[in-house]
Amino acid sequence: MAYRGIDFEPIFNRSGSSLKGVLFRPLLSASSSEVLRYCMEGIDAIHYWQCSNRIIPLILPIKVTDLKIAACVDGLCDLILNSRLPIGLINIGFLHHQDIDNELTAAVTKLRRLGVLFHALQFDGNPNTIKLISQFQFEAVHLDVSHLRETSSLSGTQLIDQIHLLKKWSCKTYFSNVTFVRDNELAYQLGIDYCYGSLMLSPVNRHQIIHIQDSRIGKALFSIQTSK
């Protein structure tokens, strides 16, 4: 039976005019024993989209503590190898960042050799996370826009400075939890590359992903522009 969960959160460019990827939400709260099963379901979804001529990257959120478990990493490597998917379609989003140690370095090295791209999810400016991003050349960083709504606050100012630093490292930036129009406006002001959240489009099932080209806000912006 096909997986039918409303678990796939669409990610768009900041204008909402183009679908750029998907976040697989069940892994955000998965236990260690569930990680491989959910990763298998996520990879199966990529194949499903590919069969419908949609080449869509998927982000698999995984806790750093799980990436330090050798059996988990070995199982994940087997899933990726057996999938035979093109490089760039399988992305791993790091959750609950910790100090870099030998176990984490070994896991990242194994996965990188398979062409996996890395994202730092729920970025809060933690120095350990910045070190991780720099050392392993992460593809992207995801920031919860709610932390930046008060840009005049000290934490907001610090995060904005770090966004500029990340861009110098050629790191793509994502806004999560985009809920209000002003969140999208802030994405434009800061040059954020991609956005996702209820303003853009709520999570859908894997079949619905096939039919998504742009977001609700993308359609609204397009209709405003064409009516001028």
Q: What is the pLDDT of residue 125?
A: 87
What's the Cα-to-Cα distance from 130 to each of 24, 91, 121, 136, rounded to whole Å? 24, 18, 12, 10
Return the minimum-mean-pLDDT range out of 139-143, 148-152, 172-176, 212-216.
148-152
Q: What is the pLDDT of residue 228?
A: 46
Across all residues in the chain, what is the average pLDDT?
91
The mean per-residue pLDDT over the stretch 36-50 comes to 98
Domain residue ranges in the chain: 8-227
Return the sign of the alpha-carbon dihedral for residues 30, 52, 9, 150: positive
Per-residue pLDDT band at 161 (split at 50, 70, 90) = very high
The mean per-residue pLDDT over the stretch 65-91 comes to 96
Residue 123 three-state SS:
coil
Q: What is the pLDDT of residue 219?
A: 62
Within its chain, how far is the Cα of 23 from the centroid? 5
The mean per-residue pLDDT over the stretch 10-20 comes to 96
Checking if the pLDDT of 193 tops 50, the result is: yes
102-113 and 70-83 helices, crossing angle to 10°? 10
The mean per-residue pLDDT over the stretch 41-62 comes to 98
φ, ψ dihedrals at 122, nearest 5°: 55, 45
* Fold annotation for 8-227: TIM Barrel (3.20.20)
Q: What is the pLDDT of residue 2?
A: 44
Q: What is the pLDDT of residue 220?
A: 64
Residue 223 three-state SS:
helix
**Alpha-helical segments (H) within the chain:** 35-51, 64-67, 70-83, 102-113, 127-136, 154-168, 181-190, 206-210, 216-227
Checking if the pLDDT of 1 tops 50, the result is: no
Q: Is 198 exposed, middle or buried (0-12, 13-18, 19+ CB in 10 A)?
A: middle
